[in-house]
């Protein structure tokens, strides 16, 4: 294991309540699912069904083009409406509402499983596009597009199972329970993309999963390397993982492709494996339902489109008032005021924090120039100067401070003793720069 200076912070992991809980199917299926037409970067997908149509699991119901991904029915039943609904990323978005008939009928047009030895680059790209796969670790970028750009240009495929956000154990459980399929997916991907190395990265606190992978590796002939990294947050972020595995630094504003790497989240690799060898579209995913306010924290296998409310009910509801509800982890998650919003392809967790668990909401005070935000920033930025430039409207200083390189990891806000909302101010600075540095 190599060591680099990354900055970062050490938040309490809080993974104990779900790390030993196997992924469970939902006992009560949702009566209705809401499939937004936007679940990836790019334009909204175009509906391929109309109200009244009958659908089966895996049937394409909205077609993506270019950067956007297609969407598929995650339950069998009937289309009830296509209308605007609240979206977990904020605001509203057109969505297809499906009434669940509870029969779990699979779509008869499901593509045939492929023979592992016959997966060509073209077949891989076509199958991944057809299955509507997107980044499932938060990025939500079209996976078909990412693979198209990477094909023939990368020497290293990195499967990221680091899952460094506190509380979330969805990827940990998937790696532990489906390691064989994930390794098969990684080998197939590396071969089809022309990458010489395939490296699976996990954090040191997932020893049981790493052992499971090692056992499988001993039995497999193909080569996948296992790399265990430290548990410091955000060592598992894309650019940090590339540097740990290859020693190469992704240039500011660049992507891993520029240093001949492609990084895929472990759940994405599992979805690719399912699409290739079982003909399955991306209709379900693992979601960790946790936090001190949740009665029975657990890991669930959830149909995409399930309202967050149903996940919470499946976990026994709230045992005490939640002070903050988020999708994702506490560092980079998105607050969710409305539990009717659905699980989408990038939703890895539903987190319900008590007042005690939340970072103390002290009053903001003045900067004491301690430099902790600078030391913690994994992108080597100076959040203190960026925030001051924004607040004092000294926007001409921004270009040299490169707020556009911020990965919104939240380390600066987390560490700041003055409780200055640094990540929001750095984000604001990036937006101002994009608009040409005009004052608000």
197-222 burial, b for 16+ CB within 10 Å, e for fewer?
Answer: bbbbbbbebbeebbebbeebbeeeee
Q: Which of 109, 251, 399, 417 binds ligand SF4 (CB under 6 A)?
A: 417
Number of residues that bind ligand SF4 (CB under 6 A): 29
Give the number of other Cβ atoms within 10 Å of residue 57's Cβ. Answer: 21
Q: Does residue 411 belong to the site contacting ligand SF4 (CB under 6 A)?
A: yes
Contact 379, 348 (CB under 8 A): no
The one segment of 79-87, 106-114, 282-290, 369-377 that binds ligand SF4 by CB under 6 A: 369-377
Per rule CB under 6 A, is residue 367 in the interface with ligand SF4?
Answer: yes
Q: How far is the CB of 262 from ligand SF4 (least distance, A)?
A: 22
Shortest CB 240 distance to ligand SF4, Å: 11
Interaction of residue 232 with ligand SF4, rule CB under 6 A: no
Q: Which of 250, 172, 200, 285 is nearest to 407 (CA)?
A: 250
Q: Which of the residues 380 through 409 are near ligand SF4 (CB under 6 A)? A: 381, 383-384, 406-409
Candidates 247, 356, 370, 393; binder of ligand SF4 (CB under 6 A) is 370
| Distance in Å, CB of 253 to ligand SF4, minimum | 13
Segment contacting ligand SF4 by CB under 6 A, of 131-139, 186-194, 333-341, 413-421: 413-421
Give the C-alpha distances (Å, rounded to integers) separating 1 from 204, 211, 239, 333: 11, 16, 16, 29
| Shortest CB 87 distance to ligand SF4, Å | 23
CA–CA gap between residue 220 and residue 301 (Å, rounded) = 27
Could you tell me which of 227, 267, 207 has the C-alpha nearest to residue 23? 267
386 contacts 403 by C-beta, under 8 angstroms: yes
CB of residue 6 to ligand SF4, shortest distance in Å: 11
Nearer to ligand SF4, 145 or 163 (CB): 163
What values do phi and psi take at 161, rounded to 5?
-120, 30
**Residue closer to ligand SF4 (CB basis): 237 or 264:** 237
Q: How far apart are CA 192 and CA 198, in angstroms?
A: 12
Smaller CB separation from ligand SF4, 201 or 411: 411
Are 287 and 302 contacting, i.e. CB atoms less than 8 angstroms apart?
A: yes
> Which chain residues interact with ligand SF4 by CB under 6 A?
367-373, 376-379, 381, 383-384, 406-412, 415-418, 420, 422-423, 426
């Amino acid at each position: 294991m190599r060591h680099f200076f990354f900055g970062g912070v050490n938040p309490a992991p809080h993974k104990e309540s779900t790390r030993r809980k196997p992924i469970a199917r939902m006992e009560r299926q949702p009566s209705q699912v809401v499939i937004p037409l936007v679940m990836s970067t790019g334009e909204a997908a175009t509906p391929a069904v109309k109200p009244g149509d009958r659908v089966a699991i895996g049937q394409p119901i909205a077609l993506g083009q270019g950067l956007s991904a297609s969407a598929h029915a995650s339950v069998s039943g009937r289309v009830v409406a296509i209308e605007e609904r609240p979206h977990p990323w904020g605001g509203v978005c057109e969505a297809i509402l499906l009434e669940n008939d509870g029969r779990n009928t699979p779509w008869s047009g499901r593509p045939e499983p492929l023979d592992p030895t016959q997966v060509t680059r073209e077949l891989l790209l076509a199958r991944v596009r057809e299955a509507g796969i997107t980044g499932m670790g938060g990025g939500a970028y079209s996976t078909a597009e990412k693979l198209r750009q990477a094909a023939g240009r990368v020497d290293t495929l990195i499967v990221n199972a680091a899952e460094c956000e506190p509380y979330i154990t969805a990827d940990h459980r998937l790696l532990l329970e489906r390691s064989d399929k994930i390794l098969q997916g990684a080998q197939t991907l590396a071969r089809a993309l022309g990458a010489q190395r395939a490296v699976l990265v996990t954090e040191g606190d997932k020893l049981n999963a790493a052992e499971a992978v090692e056992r499988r590796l001993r039995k497999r002939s193909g080569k996948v390397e296992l790399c265990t990294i430290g548990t410091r947050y955000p060592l598992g972020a894309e650019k940090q993982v590339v540097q740990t595995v290859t020693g190469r630094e992704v240039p500011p504003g660049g992507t891993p492709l520029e240093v001949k790497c492609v990084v895929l989240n472990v759940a994405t690799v599992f979805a690719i494996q399912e699409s290739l060898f079982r003909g399955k579209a991306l209709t379900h995913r693992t979601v960790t339902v946790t936090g001190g306010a949740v009665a029975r924290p657990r890991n669930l296998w959830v149909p995409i489109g399930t309202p967050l409310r149903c996940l919470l009910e499946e976990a026994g509801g709230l045992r005490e008032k939640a002070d903050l509800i988020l999708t994702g982890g506490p560092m980079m998650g998105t607050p969710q005021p409305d539990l009717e919003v659905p699980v989408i392809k990038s939703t890895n967790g539903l987190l319900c924090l008590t007042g005690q668990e939340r970072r103390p909401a002290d009053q903001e005070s003045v900067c004491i120039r301690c430099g902790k935000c600078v030391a913690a920033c994994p992108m080597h930025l100076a959040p203190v100067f960026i925030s001051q430039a924004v607040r004092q409207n000294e926007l001409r200083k921004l270009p040299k401070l490169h707020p556009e390189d911020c990965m919104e990891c939240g380390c600066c806000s987390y560490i700041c003793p003055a409780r200055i909302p640094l990540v929001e101010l750095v984000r604001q600075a990036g937006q101002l720069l994009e608009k040409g540095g005009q004052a608000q």
